[in-house]
Each structure stands twice: as structure tokens, then as C-alpha cells.
A and B are shown apart, each in its own frame.
Chain A
Amino acid sequence: MRLKKMATLALAGVMGASPALADLVFPSLSYRTGPFAASGIPFADGYADYFTLLNERDGGIGGVRVQVPECETAYNTEKGVECYEATKGLGALVYQPLSTGITYQLIPKVTADGIPMHSMGYGRTSAADGTVFNWIFNYPGTYWDAAAIMVQHAKDVSGGSLEGKTIALLYHNSAYGKEPIRTLEEIAKNEGYNLTLIPVDSPGQEQKSQWLQIRRERPDFVFFWGWGVMNQVAVQEAANIRYPMENFIGVWWSGAEPDVLPAGQGAHGYKSVNFTGVGTGFPIFEDIQTHVVDKGLAAGDGQSIGQVQYNRGLYAAMLAAEAARRAQEIHGVADITPAMMRDGMEALEITSARMAELGLPDFAPEITVTCANHSGPGKALVQQWDAEAKVWNAITDFMTADRSVIDVLVKEDSAAFAAESGITPRSCN
């Protein structure tokens, strides 16, 4: 009897929680628990806060309010599938699964269901090829762009040549971490460096033997592909063996405050690439303070505002909102469908002027997405951690990756995917 009551309650609850049909729905597949929570929480907060800001300040997007139903995945693929199935019926406009595993899982599903997916700077790199992956977007850049930029930076700081140098890639032993290997191997043919691959098994708390190897071999650079708890451990271990931190360069998912703070002074000088600006020095944060934090509507405890991952969540929400706005313009309706959203994403163009208008001047590179290019410009900057002031400082401008190698690899991989799944690439002219 009690079970029945509870079931009825649950059913009523699910019904009650579904948003009104006229709302724009942006589900947030967040992970606030599990070994990757340290990176997941600020991102989810930033994502939610931006939409709350739009609702409170502008009354939504184009006059339609926004709903952000949150679903906890714990970075776990099965829970991710459950979350996708649970939220897609609410009229979800775009999915940002925030995990390479879940992204791979959802690529065929969203394609079949006709819902666009935005894997911002992660997921399957070859989804950059819009002729094969109609529904998948990964602007503003891909892992392979990040890898190329890291090589470029290493080359810049070692006087213009990497001939004879060694680079160790310390990576999460999963699809996510393996993603840059091909690119780094290809670029090595041109640049002449030696690549050592050092995998770390998930979740990555145990890295002693890997760092022993680094200590023994003393590579000139350590490139780092980690996430969540793995980042903190790696930075701490690097500090322990006194590895020169300025030669330790993380990908954009391996360079946020929770990653370096535990290592204290030892983390001073650690670098990572980043595709957004850092800090709270942007006009939008005043609006967030007034319209979100002061009203008690902030998603988190307010501690993470302005941190790297928070800003990235904010940026992800901003890109989604802009694409929705673009879709509303193209189709002339305020209440857009997922298919219209896709058109908006494919026609997305964000100029510096627009960024300034949104209160985020110079926050990120300009973006142009086209039918054939779903990954945008592929630009990123290198940031360095200042342990004294506890801030990340951008030490370069936004750099462009050498696309000559990457484009070939993208074509190759997407052609393989197309052959495997029986897709005929569409023409983009």
C-alpha cells in the first residue's frame, strides 16, 4: 500500500516537474558527485546561473523563459543514458553531456532523435566534420586543436624548435585521454620530438608509478590529459618530484582552481590551455551579482563564481542561448524546436562586438560555425597559475592550431565513422 502511494507520488512529481510546453528547455547533465565532482560542480553552477540571469533580467530568450532541468550523471555512462531518456521528453533543445563517454553514447541517439548536441571542446573530435555529423557540434575547438596548440606553445618556449626533445603525454586511460594521441604522433613527424605515452587508469588517484617514470626519464615537457580528482593528484605529484612546473602543460579540462589549490605553492607556474577568459573582471558578473546571487537564486554556494570551470559553464550556456536566439531569428518563431535549434547552431556567428554587448568582452575567440565546420575556429590561450595571488594569468593571446595536420585526421576519422554507420556525407555547398 505504501509502495503504491509512493509510486503515485513519484508519478505525480514527474508530471509536476515537467516544464510548461512554452518554455525553452536546456537540460543540464551535471555531475555534482563522484570522483569528477570538483570539476563538475562549478561548471553546472555557471550553466544554471547564466540561464537564471536571462530569465531574471531579460525574461528569457526572445521573450520565452528558460528551464534548466538538472540530472545527475556522476560521469557515469549508464546514468547519462538514463538522464538523456528522462529529459528528452521535456522538449530538450540541446544536450551538453560533459563527458566523452556519454557523448559517444549519445551521438547515435541524438542523431536518431533529431536533437542537437554540443560537446564544447570535448567528445568526438571528428564531429567537427559537419557533413557527416549533422547534429553534433564541438565549437569552439577540439582536443586535436588543443594538442596542436600545446605543441605550438612548447615550441615557442623552447626557442622555435622541438627537434630531439621529449614530450610525455600523461593521460586518463579512456576515450577522453586517448583522443590526442594520434594528433601528437602525427605532429611529431613534422616537429621531430619523441612522444612517451603514460596512461593513468580512472579515476586517477593512483599515479605514483607514472610519476616515478617521469622522474626517471625527465621529459622536456609533460602534456596532461586529466579530469576531476586526477588533476589534483597529478599537480601534487609533479610538485613532489620537483618537476619544473612551467613545462607541465594541461589540456583545457586540466587547469582550474580546484586542481592547483591543494598543491599550494608547489603548483606555482603550472600551465594549461583554455578557450575562455579567466576571473571575474567582466561586466556580466555585476549582472549576475544583482539578478542572481543577491536574489538568492544562485545554483551553487557562490564560492566558485569566476573560477575557470564556472566561467566555462557560463560560456556554454551563453553559446546555447545565442544559438537559440539565432534560431528564433532564422525561423521567426520564439518557441523553437530542436530542429530549429540545430539550424541556429549551424548558423552561429559570435563577433567581438556581440561578446562585448553580452558583457563578456574578449572573453573568448570569435566563433563562426558553418555547415561543414562544426568546430569553429579552434583557438585557445595558455594560462599559468600564480600560487601567490591564487589566480590564473593568461600568458599568450588566443592562438590558432595548425589545422593542416588536424583537418586530414578529421576527414579520415569522420569518413571511417560514415562508412561504419552507413551515412552518406551531405554536400555543404
Chain B
Amino acid sequence: MFYREAGDFKTSYAADGQTFPIAFDRWRYYAVLAVAFLAIPLFITEYSANAVLIPFLIWSIIAIGLNILTGYCGQVSLGTGGFMAVGAYASYKIMTAVPDLNILFVVLLSGGVTAAVGMLFGLPSLRIKGFYLAVATLAAQFFLVWLFNRVPWFYNYSASGQITTQERTVLGFAVTGPNAAPEAKYLFCLVILFAMAWVARNLTRGRLGRSWMAIRDMDIAAEIIGVNPLRAKLSAFAVSSFFVGVGGALFFSVYLGAVEVGEAFGINKSFLALFMIIIGGLGSIFGSFAGAAFIVLLPVFLKNVMVGGLGWPTDIAAHFEFVILGALIIVFLILEPHGLAALWRTVKEKLRLWPFPH
């Protein structure tokens, strides 16, 4: 009914190979974009921006980044928090060293720095894989956090070891610092997320993405058919770290404004990102969004229901939040081990036949 293909003809290879081949799907995608770019900025409030939407957008970028590495290339990484910290500290150093540089370039350069660091820590992946690689990237997590705490150069020798963002503008609108309007911050993150998700989607269906997936599915077979494992794995680490670094830079400069490395980029951040892609769906761009939404939005929603709506004491609500979130994760993974993306795919299949399933 909704997802029917009858009457939806393709006359070129380009039309046949597009991301959303079904007309209804494509229009829905345009509608979502229109809402995100045009409608939400009209109704955005400071609370919805700073507590809900901006963290969701930033976490989506990070989840896409990790999904490229773990979901598409099969390299398990527990170093996401550390790479986010690299992005954040790089953006801080660049911001203070080159005050005139536009924040957009600061963010992209931070991504570049993180990509380099990520490739460095990706080198062991040529020799080890699976759990062993997870341990190697875990070392990256601890090493990087320790480094940023230990070496005062990274936080410009400030007494407390905190890094603080400064006001930076895009087209005359402040996007970082305390005076930034929620609309400006939201749109800045949204534009970056849109561009990066678009790049990621097209990378993963191109030659590079196919080489990643070949490595993921069976590295020896991939090598036999001509995929260079060195190039595939390192490129996956580089692209993934670039995304995570951009996410980390935004996390620090746009979202939080002041950051302390141990608290903001601890091991739990790595776990959060991993949960996001597992719950959302490994090897799926949509899954990264769904996972980020699940992990970021649900706790805020639950808190507002339990404390704001039902008037429960805050500590009981906080503990219940853990229980409900944990239970939901288990339920989801039992019902659909391949994540929310697979659930969504099933729903789409069903809708395609509805109302005449055979």
C-alpha cells in the first residue's frame, strides 16, 4: 500500500541505484529533511536544543563513525571516547592557536587530526582482530584520556585542567559560546550531520565501502579477490575516526562548552557509542540514527515522565531509568538481534504487502 512499487519505473542506472528507490520512501525522506531544516528551527526552545536535539545530532555523527569501523569493516573498537577527546582537544588547540579560523574549518581539521590518530591506533588491526583488537583500542581510550590529563600543553596550562570554548560565528551567527542561539547551534550541527551522513552513505555503497564489507565478512576471501587489507582497514579507521573526531569537537565546542577529559570522555562514552550501533543496527546508517535516538532521547523522556509527570523522587526515577533502559535493550535484542534498523526494515516489508499479505 504505502511502499508499493507498482507504477514506479526506473529508466536509468542512476535512478535504479539511488538510496531510496521507492517513491514513497524518497518523499518521506524529503519530508523528514524539511521538518528538520525548516520546521524545527521555528519551534526550538533552549531546553529542547541543549538537552535533547543537539546531543542527538552529535551522537548520530559519532554513531555513524563507529558504525563505519565496527558495522561495515568489522573492526571492534572501544576507543571511541578517546577519539572524541582527540577531536575536542584538537578543536580547542586550533581555536586558541588560530583565533580567526572559521569554526567549520576548526571542526573539520579536528576531524582530520583524529583521523591521523585513529590510523595510528588502527595499525595493530593488521595483525590482530576481534576481541584482541577491542583490547588494543581500549588501550587507546585509556592512553588518550591519561595523556590529555597529564600533559598541560593540551589545556594551555590552565590551573584546573579544563578546556573552555570561545565564541565563534558562522555567517555572523554565534554557534559556540554561551551567547549562541539554540537555532544557530542546532542548524550548525544539523548541516554537518547531514553532509557527513550523506558522505557516509555514499562511501559505504561505493568501492571503498564494499572493500570494508568484504574484509568484515571474510578477510582471507577478500584478499584473494584483490582487496588490500592494509588499505581497507586503515581507511576504515581513518574515516571512522574523522567522524568521531568531528563529533567530539562539536560535543565540546557546541554542546558542552567546557570539558574535563576524564569526566566527559571516559570509558562509558565508548560503551555508549557501541550500545548505540548495536541497538540501532550494525552496518546501517539509519541504524546509527535510531541507536543515537534510543540512547540519548529515551533517558530524558523517561526522566520527564517520572519526575515531571508522575512527581516521583529524583533518585528513584534515576534508578528506574537504569532498569527500564536495561530491560528495553534486552527486549529489543531478543526480539530483533539485528537492531532497530532491521526492525524498521521488517516493518517496511510488511507495509509493502499490506493490506494483502499472502
Contacts and interface: CB of A to CB of B under 8 A. Distances in A.
B262 interface: yes
Given A10-B309, A32-B314, A413-B159, A174 B47 contact: no
Number of chain B interface residues as a range: 35 or more
Contact of B162 (A6, A104, A125): A104
Given A72-B317, A86-B47, A9 B305 contact: yes
A78 B310 contact: no
B50 A85 contact: yes
Interface string B289-308: 00000000000110111011
Interface in B17-33: none
Contact of B318 (A12, A72, A124, A174): A72
B164 A420 contact: yes
Contacts of A30: 314
A89 interface: yes
B149 interface: yes
A110 to B, nearest CB: 8
Interface in A56-98: 70-72, 74, 76-78, 81-82, 85-86, 88-89
B260 A101 contact: yes
A85 B160 CA distance: 25
Interface string B243-259: 00000000000011111
Interface in A231-280: none
Instruction: Categorize the interface residue count of chain A.
Output: 35 or more
Contacts of A202: 262-263, 266
B257 A105 contact: yes
Contact of A104 (B51, B160, B178): B160
A85 B177 contact: no
A124 B263 contact: no
B40 interface: no
B304 A72 contact: no
Contacts of B310: 13
Contact of A173 (B149, B304, B314, B315): B149
Given A81-B50, A86-B51, A108 B257 contact: yes
A112 B179 contact: yes
Given A72-B314, A88-B46, 11 more contacts: A13-B305, A72-B307, A85-B51, A100-B160, A105-B257, A107-B258, A108-B164, A113-B178, A173-B262, A178-B159, A420-B166
Q: Which 10 A-B pairs have the closest CB atoms?
A: A13-B309, A32-B315, A108-B178, A112-B178, A175-B160, A72-B314, A82-B51, A14-B308, A85-B47, A104-B258
Interface of B: 46-47, 50-51, 55, 149, 158-162, 164, 166-167, 177-179, 255-260, 262-264, 266, 300-301, 303-305, 307-311, 313-315, 317-319
29 contacts: A6-B305, A10-B304, A13-B304, A14-B304, A14-B308, A14-B309, A16-B309, A33-B315, A71-B307, A72-B303, A72-B317, A76-B263, A77-B264, A81-B51, A89-B46, A100-B160, A104-B160, A104-B258, A105-B258, A109-B257, A111-B178, A173-B149, A174-B260, A175-B162, A179-B159, A181-B159, A201-B262, A421-B164, A422-B167
